[in-house]
Amino acid sequence: MDDKTPADILANAKDLASKEQTENRLLQVKGSVNGAVTGLVIGLMVGYYKKYNLMLAGTAGVLIGGAVSYYFLKEERTIIKK
């Protein structure tokens, strides 16, 4: 049987919680960046074909793509945790 002190058990629990938070944060950032890049490409394509200002169309695409992917990843994370 393991003779662990309460301090050892607490340190182990904190380490596990920290790893889980890091993984969740990494998933969130990675997904948001992917969504932002996808939004940028779609925004630039729409801006080019509709003769809009490309800077404005690209910026709008980045913001919308990042926000949408963040929302969907948030939903996915809650489904995975349950």
In this model, does residue 69 exceed pLDDT 90? no
pLDDT at residue 23 is higher than 90: no
Domain definitions of the chain by residue range: 6-81
User: Residue range 6-23: average pLDDT?
Assistant: 72
Q: What is the pLDDT of residues 31-60, one digit of tens each?
A: 888 889 999 999 999 999 999 999 999 999
- Full-model pTM: 0.65
Reported residue count of the chain is: 82
Report whether 73 contacts 26 (CB < 8 A): no
Q: Maximum Cα–Cα distance for the chain, whole Å?
A: 72
